[in-house]
Structure 1
Amino acid sequence: MKNIDCANCSAKIEKKIQELPEVDDCILTFATRQLRVYSSEGTKLLPKMQEIADKIEPGTIIEVREEGKPADANSNDKHAHDLPELIAGGLLFIVGELLSHSMPQISAICFVIAYLILGREVLLTALKNMKTGHVMDENFLMSLATIGAFCVGQFGEAVGVMLFYRVGEAFEHRAVEKSRSQIMEAVDLRPETVLLDENGTVREVPAGSAVVGNIVEIRPGDRIPLDGVVVEGESRIDTSPITGEPVPVSVKVGSQLTSGCVNTSGLLKMRVEKELSESMVTRILDSVENAAASKPQAERFITKFARVYTPFVVALAAATAIIPSLITGNWSHWIYTALTFLVISCPCALVLSVPLAFFSGIGAGSKKGILFKGGIALENLKAVKTVVMDKTGTITKGNFVVQTILPAGTASEQEILQIAAACETASTHPIGISIVSAAKDQKLVIEKPAEIEEISGKGIHARLSQGEVLCGNRKLLTEFNVDCGAYDENGAVTTVYISVNGKLAGTIQIADTIKPEAKDAIRSLKSMGIRSAMLTGDGEAAAEAVAAEVGIDNVYAKLLPADKLEILQKLRAENGSAMFVGDGINDAPVLAGADVGAAMGSGADAAIEAADVVFMTSSMDAISEAIKIARSTGAISNQNVVFALAVKALVMILGLMGIASMWLAVFADTGVAILCVLNSIRILYKK
């Protein structure tokens, strides 16, 4: 939508379109100027919707958004003529004030001309709206208040109030546009063009025209335009725009590249793996826009409250004008007081304050690699009392690493590792891969077995230069009558036994690696008064060892996916609102069942799809960061509402006491709206 700059009007447009019989649902997001209409009629409804918009806010344009194109954050030209009118009206107002005592007739003429320049659009819009029955909008109320001021002889005040109102509106518009563009620029990292390499010839083409398999050149300093894989060159990549992590990542041939990151050093050539519509930059933009359209309960409440607030204040103004005047006979004073009430009866500051606060919170999260899928997720997250986590891939890295090599005979640690790696060369099991990786890291020569047999669930039986070799669990060696001695298995690690020619040569202990930030992340949650729990399908010894190291409060091991959901519900009943963090396919039901489900960005697509929040960094630090953003967002939203209502109530009280002027009433309307906007975007700059 173009040219819509009134939050209260957007709420009215949304309500009227929702009432159309052909419409199943409608969501108008003022923060992104997106109108989503769910109807089988499709674009046939455009004329009806345009008619509704014209009646409520003239000049608003509803148009079908092009596929893949974001909402235009700067598509508003209604205020292009503001400055000339404000200058002309302001000068005439000053002249009128200067001549008010010496030349009252000329002063009055200056005031009338100034009023017509400044209030022309307001008056015309109010007249148009009266014809369609929309009399409770800000244009009608401002017209009534200022014309009333003329009627009671307050010429200068009427013009001054209209001038102040127009200045406030211009500043409010500018503040909203600035905050909107700041948030959208932070998340819209999509490129306009890419450098397409065609057999050595490089040419610039629109990013949307690049297809899977194309080779794209990325120069030092360029933002990676699409998701792909490096086919030529080496460099370091700044991933902070996507993950929020400031540490550069080295890439070479075969490395995956994520769109939105920045190439900091060498020239790269990349093969496109995903087109623009499917690349990470588009997914992030879509996620933020969709999130903004998901309205929290606080926003829905304040929109309903605004519908009651304005009629109530107008009724109060009418009562103030009539009842005290009949008692005191001072009609001029009480009518003037009633006019101040009319000025502050517009609920724009209230209707604007909540959605913009949540939109800013969503934008702040995206800057740190945290994708909130809606204002509801933020609203629920601030109330979380317990964070429940899966172990593998969430608390641990999900990749097995060789921890210890224990020789049992004359063979050295390196010889044992060489023998095990030779047996595991063809293995796709994480444990086998970790053994081969450890041997390669030590630059050991890995022999190719003369014979090899994989025994399901137990290990490998192979023939090497050393003779007959067994590499697997204790059951494998027992099956071949190999004495394993008095080796006690440590439940916190996986033990691989190696025997050569029927004698135990040694053991290799392998364990999943705990994420380095895990301990600090749990400590941070505890400092926020949040309990932690771990759910895992692993054995009790391994689970207890991980929990003890990072400081988790409760541990539940040997669980099936259905068990995880049952325990989550139990924890929620005991402690209150619960958040679940996971990354696997089997975590999807628990993610969907939690008050807030969060998925690691490196996890399975099913988990990411089911989650309310996605941590692009896959870092545990993001958990407490997300909760802090949610709490800050909720606090700012509450501050805006309380501040707006308190100032308006105060001005009403001062008006009844004969202290407040219409000037102060204008501040209570547009001035408060500006301050709420500025308070909302504060979260974007919090460290």
Structure 2
Amino acid sequence: MSIDGAVDVRRVELRIDGMTCAACVGRVERKLGKLEGVRATVNLATERATVEYPAGTDVETLLGTVRKAGYGATELRPGVTDTGDAATEDDTALRRLRTRMAVALVLFIPLADLSLAMSLVPSLRFPYWQWVVVALALPVVVWAAWPFHRTAFVNLRHGTTSMDTLVSLGVISASAWSLGEMAFLDTRTTLTGWDAVLHPSGPLYLEVAAGVTTFVLAGRYFEARARRTAGRVMRSLAALESDEVTLLVDGAETRIPVGRLRAGDRFLVRPGERIAADGVVAEGAAAVDTSAMTGEPVPAEVGPGDAVTGGTIPAGGRLVVVAEQVGADTRLARMIAAVERAQVQKSATQRLVDRVSSVFVPVVLVLAVLTLGGWLLAGAGWAGALGPAIAVVIIACPCALGLATPTALMVATGRGAELGIFVKGYRALETTRAADTVVLDKTGTLTTGRMTVTDVAAAPGVDPELLLARAAAVESGSEHAIAAAVRRHARDAGLAVPEVGEFVALPGLGARGTVDGVAITVGRPPADTGALAERIAGWEASGHTVVAVQVRDELAGVIALADPVKESAPVAVAELVAMGLRPVLLTGDRPAAAHAVARACGIDDVVAGALPDDKVDHVRALQAQGRTVAMVGDGVNDAAALAAADLGIAVGSGTDVALEAADVVLVRDDLRVLPATVELARATMGTIRGNLWWAFGYNTAAIPVAMAGLLNPLLAGAAMAISSFLVVTNSLRLRKAASWADETLGSVRTPDRETEYVEG
């Protein structure tokens, strides 16, 4: 790539460790931007930086620049989303953060209880009880709050600030003031009236410092845990790629790393082995399981001249494939890249918080210094000036701001769990208010995801039950999804299925065997279907799959199969329409089957025959029209579209990759939970925004009061606690969100995949 046709510009992905807020992001971007020809975009949520740099710049120079700014930096190699060492480091850091949070919480609860008891019941006070408060508080404000102090110190070294600066200053100020009170003033002072209620420790307010530390640590922990899941999507997708491939050169087989495969090479694929690259079949025939790419339950029959896709698996046949697209050009690699690009997008709400915070912190510090200087000039002396200055820092300490998002998210996820909804993060919640389009996959989402026999038609003079029993006998030797459906239908009908002999699989045609001494063939209908032609035509027009049963090569009957629509699907779609959303059916299945499902569900917009990258293109096209898109799917083939959509929703019976790529997972098999998800997400986002405005507005309005000396540090701590209490109370209202669903949906019952899909 070049700039103005003159400079060779390269790109590298860096992992950045140690960032906590927008100030950190801005610092890394500014430091890298000072290097000649370097442009950097840093994402806090994914802890990544995309850096464009001229060819003459060494990557080590970029890494060194980031490290000098006080952050860890490592290069991410192309195609590698997260190294094992990095994942281990993340897990270790998360455990340490959880330990600090747990210790802080264990000490803060008795600290607050003791302070309250000593205030409300003076007779319970014992000598030096304040020192017990100090003993409980010091581990919290020193050890548990150490990450905030360390970051604040690093910021100070580099002449910058962050939200951790205010947290650290608030904790240190509250602790220092309290220790000063104990050292120089009469700690036996008893407060009365509202002063005692607002600050139970009397002249001490160490519980304020401990409370700030505990609350902010909790918010930081839940944020870090949510961010940790980002790399799992990429690892799940990467598991679909082959590591080695059998190369054919002049008839000789050679196992080579898949990275050495080139376009035009011929390679061998055995039954059950993943196809290593996109290509065309040169020899052989097989039924290829394409569910990883199309999501459809029926394997595709392929032979010479047919195209195959990397990541799919042939069954019952040996293929020789000529590679056409290899490496990063395969459909699977492009899918991985699409998911990766979608995941590096920043949360809109987080961008707002970051922007405000980057200005808020230095402004608060300046105001605290001005307050101190102003009162000194007014002749108040150091004792009179320090109080208002500390009050400014404490009232501005972002405890409520830190709670605004995580408390609402925790309540929403708890409520979601009751309804059968798993919300991964607030990226899912902040887009649904504007969502106006819901794109739905067909198989496994609107339908049950497994083939089912819907009808059987026998030729004149043929017993339908005998026909079905013999067909099931032949299909007992096949692993095909259609074979499993026929066997299951015969079993459910209580038929006695005879033994099959001389079984032969017919790739692309079906299967043949001897039943009761008669040759039976089950497979594609012959050209001449006689009296059954009209029934077959009607079934195919309505999207059914038709299987013919021939006795001694004469058509004896036909069996119609379909992937049935879930009973809850039409109701869910109707509710979505009533909520003002436009439903769109987007599937890789045949047009006839797609339109049949759409009619049953009440969907007018249908896109059929869409492969994974086609689904992404369609989602992007809708977004280009100004629409906010929610994508609902269950398969690997839906993963890229789920990530590309503004909101990705996966049904819980789907593949692991789809579940990881989505923002929301529905663990119910009842699709009526989908409109409940939309309602819950809208309510949660409204609550988060209300919390944020309150947290900023409350503190901002209180700062002038503190500067005027009308809010001493004790009341400042109480005011901050009230702000946090109101934020938490507002979040708790989400426990009643989507209350209509309690009676409609009942209790949660997670689908059992092993039982549900034991056959086919």
How far apart are 1:636 and its partner, in Å? 1.7
2:169 aligned to which of 137, 161, 178: 137
Q: What is the CA deviation profile of residues 459-505 of structure 1, one whole-angstrom value per residue up to 9, with x for unaligned ones?
A: 3444444845443332x353xx8675544332222223334456543
2:580 aligned to which of 529, 544, 547: 529
Is the CA contact (8 Å cut-off) linking 2:642 and 2:661 kept in structure 1? Answer: yes
1:24 aligned to which of 36, 61, 72: 72
In structure 1, what is the equivalent of residue 396 of structure 2? 345
Structure 1 CA distance for aligned equivalents of residues 520 and 610 of structure 2:
35
In structure 2, what is the equivalent of residue 166 of structure 1? 205
Structure 2 CA distance for aligned equivalents of residues 143 and 174 of structure 1:
12
Structure 2 CA distance for aligned equivalents of residues 495 and 39 of structure 1:
52
**Given the two structures, how large is their TM-score scaled by the length of structure 2?**
0.55
Residues 475-486 of structure 1 mapped to structure 2, 5 A cutoff: 476=526, 478=528, 484-486=532-534
How far apart are 1:555 and its partner, in Å? 0.6
In structure 2, what is the equivalent of residue 510 of structure 1? 561
1:494 aligned to which of 514, 537, 545: 545
Say yes or no: does 1:473 pair with 2:501.
no
Residues 225-304 of structure 1 mapped to structure 2, 5 A cutoff: 296-299=347-350, 301-302=352-353
Moved more, 76-85 or 334-343: 334-343
Structure 2 CA distance for aligned equivalents of residues 143 and 604 of structure 1:
51
Aligned length: 521
Q: What is the CA deviation profile of residues 7-40 of structure 1, one whole-angstrom value per residue up to 9, with x for unaligned ones?
A: xx986998999975474369xxxxxxxxx99998
Q: What is the CA deviation profile of residues 315-343 of structure 1, one whole-angstrom value per residue up to 9, with x for unaligned ones?
A: 456667887999999x9999998786555
Cα 1:336–1:564 shift into 2, 3 Å: closer
In structure 2, what is the equivalent of residue 74 of structure 1? 102
Say yes or no: does 1:576 pair with 2:627.
yes
Residues 289-438 of structure 1 mapped to structure 2, 5 A cutoff: 296-299=347-350, 301-302=352-353, 305-306=356-357, 308-313=359-364, 315-316=366-367, 341=392, 343-366=394-417, 368-438=419-489
Cα 1:178–1:621 shift into 2, 3 Å: farther
Cα 1:643–1:168 shift into 2, 3 Å: farther
How far apart are 1:409 and its partner, in Å? 0.9
Cα 1:495–1:622 shift into 2, 3 Å: same
Is the CA contact (8 Å cut-off) linking 1:90 and 1:163 kept in structure 2? Answer: yes
Q: What is the CA deviation profile of residues 282-340 of structure 1, one whole-angstrom value per residue up to 9, with x for unaligned ones?
A: xxxxxxxxxxx9994534643553453354346456667887999999x9999998786
Give, as a single letter, the amino acid of the residue that structure 2 aligns with 1:680. S
Is the CA contact (8 Å cut-off) linking 1:89 and 1:115 kept in structure 2? Answer: no
Cα 1:71–1:370 shift into 2, 3 Å: farther
In structure 1, what is the equivalent of residue 637 of structure 2? 586
Give, as a single letter, the amino acid of the residue that structure 2 aligns with 1:677. V
Cα 1:465–1:300 shift into 2, 3 Å: same
Is the CA contact (8 Å cut-off) linking 1:306 and 1:350 kept in structure 2? Answer: no
Q: What is the CA deviation profile of residues 588-620 of structure 1, one whole-angstrom value per residue up to 9, with x for unaligned ones?
A: 333343333333333334434444443333543
Q: Secondary structure at the match of 1:406?
A: strand
Q: Secondary structure at the match of 2:650?
A: strand
Identity of aligned residues (%): 27
Is the CA contact (8 Å cut-off) linking 2:576 and 2:675 kept in structure 1? Answer: yes
Cα 1:590–1:440 shift into 2, 3 Å: same
Give, as a single letter, the amino acid of the residue that structure 2 aligns with 1:414. E
In structure 2, what is the equivalent of residue 643 of structure 1? 694
Residues 78-89 of structure 1 mapped to structure 2, 5 A cutoff: 78-79=107-108, 80-84=110-114, 87-88=117-118
How far apart are 1:178 and its partner, in Å? 13
Gaps of 5+ in 1: 1-8, 27-35, 46-61, 96-112, 188-292
Cα 1:350–1:606 shift into 2, 3 Å: closer
In structure 2, what is the equivalent of residue 550 of structure 1? 601
Cα 1:456–1:10 shift into 2, 3 Å: closer
Q: Secondary structure at the match of 1:388?
A: strand
Q: Secondary structure at the match of 2:625?
A: helix
Say yes or no: does 1:624 pair with 2:624.
no
How far apart are 1:362 and its partner, in Å? 4.2
Q: Secondary structure at the match of 2:547?
A: strand
Gaps of 5+ in 2: 1-18, 29-46, 48-65, 75-81, 157-164, 227-343, 740-760
Q: What is the CA deviation profile of residues 244-295 of structure 1, one whole-angstrom value per residue up to 9, with x for unaligned ones?
A: xxxxxxxxxxxxxxxxxxxxxxxxxxxxxxxxxxxxxxxxxxxxxxxxx999
Structure 2 CA distance for aligned equivalents of residues 644 and 37 of structure 1:
38
Q: Secondary structure at the match of 2:102?
A: coil
Structure 1 CA distance for aligned equivalents of residues 362 and 576 of structure 2:
45
**Given the two structures, how large is their TM-score scaled by the length of structure 1?**
0.60
In structure 2, what is the equivalent of residue 98 of structure 1? none
Cα-Cα RMSD: 5.6
Give, as a single letter, the amino acid of the residue that structure 2 aligns with 1:405. V
How far apart are 1:547 and its partner, in Å? 0.7
Give, as a single letter, the amino acid of the residue that structure 1 aligns with 2:575. S
Is the CA contact (8 Å cut-off) linking 1:389 and 1:395 kept in structure 2? Answer: yes
Cα 1:511–1:444 shift into 2, 3 Å: same
Is the CA contact (8 Å cut-off) linking 2:634 and 2:658 kept in structure 1? Answer: yes
Cα 1:295–1:675 shift into 2, 3 Å: farther
Structure 2 CA distance for aligned equivalents of residues 442 and 334 of structure 1:
88
Structure 1 CA distance for aligned equivalents of residues 647 and 476 of structure 2:
42
Is the CA contact (8 Å cut-off) linking 1:400 and 1:430 kept in structure 2? Answer: yes
Q: Secondary structure at the match of 1:344?
A: helix
Structure 2 CA distance for aligned equivalents of residues 522 and 162 of structure 1:
54
Residues 642-661 of structure 1 mapped to structure 2, 5 A cutoff: 642-651=693-702
Cα 1:71–1:374 shift into 2, 3 Å: farther
How far apart are 1:671 and its partner, in Å? 1.0
Is the CA contact (8 Å cut-off) linking 1:317 and 1:339 kept in structure 2? Answer: yes
Cα 1:637–1:172 shift into 2, 3 Å: farther
How far apart are 1:397 and its partner, in Å? 1.0
